[in-house]
Amino acid sequence: MTQDELKERVAREALKYVQDPVIGVGSGSTVFKFIEALASIKHQIDGAVAASETSAERLRKIGVRVLDLNSVNELPVYIDGADEVTEHLHMIKGGGGALTREKLTAAVARRFVCICDGSKLVPVLGKFPVPIEVIPMARSYVAREVVKMGGHPRLREGFTTDNGNVVLDCHGMTLLDPPKVEGELNQIAGVVTNGIFARRPADVLLLAEASGVLTKKRLPS
Ligand code: 5RP
């Protein structure tokens, strides 16, 4: 089974979590498969909050109304992918650069359902570089601070986020305590968001393997 087929499989499985009139939708190739699958049940929802302009465009294309997060009092469920995920349902996200809107939508959501193919499950986060969205004028300062923390930041060339900022991809970060590092990165002036999603982890992980889709629930800590 190809990775694309695994993404389709997990995207279809995620439809079971669409049980309310309003849903949150993340970004990335797995989520785009989910949006394709959502077309078959779009009459069941009133609208969706999108975590990227690209997702918003794709949702509109299938006939789903896109809602402003500010107009939504509560979001029962948020469905999104990840670049890496652990058994604790901590994640690295932002490979597509949508990390800020993703973190915001996840923060509002009651339930975060992460959809991935099996290759994303790792024992420890950090092989995938941690993306950090940074205000453009803070780029060099933030990079120097990340170096002090042991990381190797690289500017994502030719890329601007939906919020008009730049992204530093930080290699070699040791993420034995993801919530701690997430908090430390947040403290650097000029950082908008970092791609460690551990303080608000996923609640459910749907993991597509050739044998089927595994469901893992976050254990209470
Ligand atoms: C985008 C994200 C995506 O969820 C993450 O990059 C996974 O993407 P894909 O489903 O294409 O592997 O965080 O900012």
Q: Is 29 in the pocket of ligand 1 (CB under 6 A)?
A: yes
Q: Relative to the CA of 7, which ligand 1 atom is closest?
A: 10
150 with 182, same domain: the answer is: yes
Tens digit of pLDDT at every position of the chain (221 positions): 999 999 999 999 999 999 999 999 999 999 999 999 999 999 999 999 999 999 999 999 999 999 999 999 899 999 999 999 999 999 999 999 999 999 999 999 999 999 999 999 999 999 999 999 999 999 999 999 999 999 999 999 999 999 999 999 999 998 999 999 999 999 999 999 999 999 999 999 999 999 999 999 997 66
* CB 201, CB 218: distance < 8 Å: yes
Q: What are phi and psi of 111, to 5 degrees?
A: -130, 130
The number of domains in the chain is 2
> 110 CA distance to ligand 1 centroid (A)?
20
38 with 72, same domain: the answer is: yes
13 with 106, same domain: the answer is: yes
* Domain range enclosing 29: 3-122+199-217
Catalytic residues: 102
165 with 211, same domain: the answer is: no
What are the angstrom distances between the C-alpha of 120 and each of 57, 87, 127, 134, 136?
26, 11, 11, 25, 30
65 with 149, same domain: the answer is: no
Q: Relative to the CA of 131, which ligand 1 atom is closest?
A: 14
Handedness of CA 55, 56, 57, 63 (dihedral sign): positive
52 with 136, same domain: the answer is: no
* Interaxial angle between packed helices 3-14 and 29-38, expressed in degrees from 0 to 180 and rounded to the nearest 10: 50
67 with 45, same domain: the answer is: yes
Residue 201 gets which letter from DSSP?
-
27 with 95, same domain: the answer is: yes
Q: What is the CATH number of the domain that holds 139?
A: 3.30.70.260
Q: Would you give the distance in Å from CA 126 to the centre of its chain?
A: 15
pTM listed for this prediction: 0.96
149 with 184, same domain: the answer is: yes
